[in-house]
A and B are shown apart, each in its own frame.
Chain A
Amino acid sequence: MEDKKLQEILEEIWPRLRKKHLYPEIPVPQIKPIQESLAEGEENSEGVGLEIKDKVMTLNPLFIASMEGKMSREEVMEALLDHGITHYTFCPWDFQTHLMIYAEAKKVMGDKETAKRVANYFIDVVADTHCVKHRSTQIPELHRHLKKGPIQEVIQSLYEKIWGVDLGISSSKKESRLQAETVRRLMRIPYLDRSRWPESIRKFARSLKPLIAAEQKEQRGKGGKGDSNPQGDHDLDHYSFEEIDSGLREYARKTMDLAQFREVVEDFSEELKEIGYGAEGGMGRGRSAPIDADILFYMKLAENYSIPLRKLPLEEGGDLHPHSHYPWEVGSPYQDVDIWTSFGKIMPGITQVWKKKEGRGRLKIEGAPDCLIIIDSSGSMINPRKNLSYAVLGAACATNAYLRNDSKVAVYNFSDAPMGGRDILDFTDDREAIYRSLCKYFGGGTALDLDDILPLIRKKTPLDLFIITDMKITNLETLIGFFGQIQNRVTAVHIGENPYATRFEKAFEKRKNISIFKVKRKEDIPHIVLGSIREYFNPVEKRR
């Protein structure tokens, strides 16, 4: 009965709230069944008022009941929902921003748990302040009646100062010197300036650090755990798999820092594993082995680059053709976006994606052949597990291009191959296995063993070759001789410039099936065109 009443209130206030927050795209919130709340052992405490999971906000009826006599149920629900909605519409907005806030907090706090706590406090302060400034809300009233720990007291004292409302903190209790000093520092932070959030969270963390340390010490003494946030904690549950995927991709692109990415992924490894990262057989869903953050870094970073793959006329049919449209969603890849029907915009509701279907007919249909990636991991190359390696990034982009076209990829990762410094992966479409092989680093001398490569080449016709190296190969002449004999399309990418690369370029300047690209900066990667053959582009020349 009680549930039903709350449900009625929710149905009544939700359209008004949507309008107030300019119609955010969030599903209708839910009321948690009372039995469930009781089963979670919350009957003796106020518990958490709002939980967010997969974008669905769930209100706790016990929490609402605990506010009876202080605020009306409508007001409590509206305040909680205002708070929850603002997380979607302002802070943290998306998973990438959440990661950035956490990473900056971690730089100051040093450890994972306190960094998460500080990031959560910051996100709440920003969201509530935004709501108080821009919307008419009951959030201040809710704060007046919330249960307060020492840190909550400081934050509410901060609210009094920056919102200009009396929350009953300054009148009820005298602040300690440390608390007063902390509030003085906190109130100078420009919370609503999104462009300054990285700097702001560091200052926020710096100011709260002594208080959190003191509280932790006290809790350790008592042997208990800290109070839960009545407005709900901010973890990965808030986000959908697609949002997390896109957030990681953006974070990798923005930081371009392997160590920083690894640290954040390792800190969230439990949660990421929970939603399916690190599962055997690709980044699918399900529980499994620990996440290889380095591989994930290259995977997400490579998704930001799209390098074109020229297709070949193949005998068999079965190529994919654009067939119909379906709406694009946030987090989906951009490769198949139809820019014409999307009016050149990337926006959910407007953007459309081509749905591809397998073609039929007896004509020669264009398709992408399989590819053998030859990657140099000798001592002159960067160790991809220590620093960002353009060689691995380039090879990862090539891998994505071939896998996207339903081709298979084999990897020959070499250093001093005749002495055993090599790793061979047979043709596969297992993205994770390919990346694992690409990320292997031997760090020794540089020599190819053609006996390793030939069986792989003979296995497939047609086959593209993609080689990425700095060309400082001791048996470069053998490689040049070998490439001189084969007719496969070869994309050779050399990292940086040196006399060996010049020698290689000179040797093949007249060969039409070999395209050579130079990568000096990450910006050079999209200029690579896989399998480009001058002959293929210029049929007139071919006929002559």
Chain B
Amino acid sequence: MPLGDEIKGRSSEAMKTNHSQKRPPLQTLFKEGLKPQNPFEEFQSFVFKKREIPLDHIVQSSELVMDKIRLGYEKLLEEEAKELVWMVQYNTIIKAYEVAERYIRDIDYTAEDIEDFCFALENTHRIPYLIPGPAGIYISALCNYAKENEIVLKLSELKTEINLIGFRLPKDKRMIIEGDTGDFTGISLEGGELVIEGSAKNWTGAGMRSGKILVKKNVGLHTGEWMMGGEIYVGGRVRGLGNVVEGKIFEREKLIYPGKSRYPNHYY
């Protein structure tokens, strides 16, 4: 007799013989070895095997690094831009850079982490504020302290142009930015090589001491302001020169500083 019928047979028999007698509880049936059939019997043999693959670890560790980098940036904002206003002055830049250095020194990160951070800056769910000044200082500090000597940042899709990128880029470091950058690109460059695949805005190379800045497209006003040395190569046009102290500026392979053809901030 099938199991279900047996249970049904037993219970109907009990009802016929003694109505006042209670039906045997389910536990009693189990003890007697009568178990109700499981409608999902077929799934019992399925064993779910969750395999650990290296991707899990890679994603987890890069998330961890990103959290640390993000935390450092938030701390920098807390200290440097309390009112969410940040004035670009020499002292504030130096101070902000020192704060950034303090937070990133202990983080073990790669160039890809820096790029991820740049994109995370635009994602308001992950980072509450993008203030181009401190963000640029922080990214520059990250690049300067990175283990790699060559850093490529693919930023062409960023909607915001980051200011102050390449600040104090040291000797033996090469930084390539795919996309455009904002104001104060490569300021205070300290011997490194900064390549901008797109355009840069005003004050490019201001106060740079040595090294090379290569901008594939155009640059804005005050280019090379208080520049003390090094070279700036511009593939497109230079909108205006700053008061250059020393160094060389090329526009479309033609030397425009030192030279007689151009005056400081002479727009054309």
Residues of A within 8 A of B (CB): 19, 22, 107-108, 129, 132-136, 161-164, 181, 184-185, 187-193, 199, 202-203, 206-207
Contact = CB atoms under 8 A, between A and B. Distances in A.
Contacts of A132: 51, 53
B124 to A, nearest CB: 13
Nearest to A202: B157
Interface residues of B, number: 21
A463 B62 CA distance: 65
A188 B53 contact: no
Nearest to B42: A19
B55 A191 contact: yes
A188 B51 contact: no
Nearest to B49: A136
Given A184-B112, A185-B112, A188-B62, A134 B55 contact: no
Given A129-B53, A132-B53, 12 more contacts: A19-B42, A107-B157, A108-B157, A136-B49, A162-B53, A184-B112, A185-B115, A187-B58, A188-B58, A188-B59, A188-B62, A191-B55
A135 B154 CA distance: 35
Nearest to B110: A184
A129 B55 contact: yes
B7 interface: no
Given A134-B51, A188-B58, A19 B112 contact: no
Contacts of B31: none
Given A184-B112, A188-B59, A190-B59, A206 B157 contact: yes
Contact of A133 (B51, B58, B112): B51
B112 A192 contact: no
Contacts of A189: 59
Given A107-B157, A188-B116, A206-B157, A164 B54 contact: yes
Contacts of B22: none
Contacts of A193: 59
Contacts of A192: 55
B50 interface: yes
List the 3 shortest-distance A-B pairs measured between CB atoms, nearest first.
A162-B55, A164-B54, A190-B59
Contacts of B62: 188
Contacts of A187: 55, 58
Contact of A134 (B50, B54, B152, B157): B50
A28 to B, nearest CB: 18
Given A107-B157, A108-B157, A206-B154, A162 B49 contact: no
Interface string B25-61: 0000000000000000010001001110111101100
Contacts of A161: 54, 58
A161 B154 CA distance: 22
Contacts of B55: 129, 133, 162-163, 187, 191-192
A180 to B, nearest CB: 12
Contacts of A162: 53-55, 58
B59 A163 contact: no
Nearest to B48: A134
20 contacts: A19-B46, A108-B157, A133-B56, A134-B50, A134-B51, A136-B49, A162-B55, A163-B53, A164-B53, A164-B54, A181-B152, A184-B110, A185-B115, A187-B58, A188-B59, A188-B62, A192-B55, A193-B59, A199-B119, A207-B154
A199 B123 CA distance: 10
Nearest to B55: A162
A497 to B, nearest CB: 30
Among B59, B62, B115: residue with most chain A CB under 10 A: B59
A190 B53 CA distance: 12
A188 B46 contact: no
Given A19-B46, A162-B58, A188-B59, A133 B154 contact: no
Contacts of B51: 132-134
Nearest to A108: B157
Nearest to B116: A188
B102 to A, nearest CB: 26
Given A107-B157, A108-B157, A185-B112, A133 B50 contact: yes
Contacts of B46: 19, 22
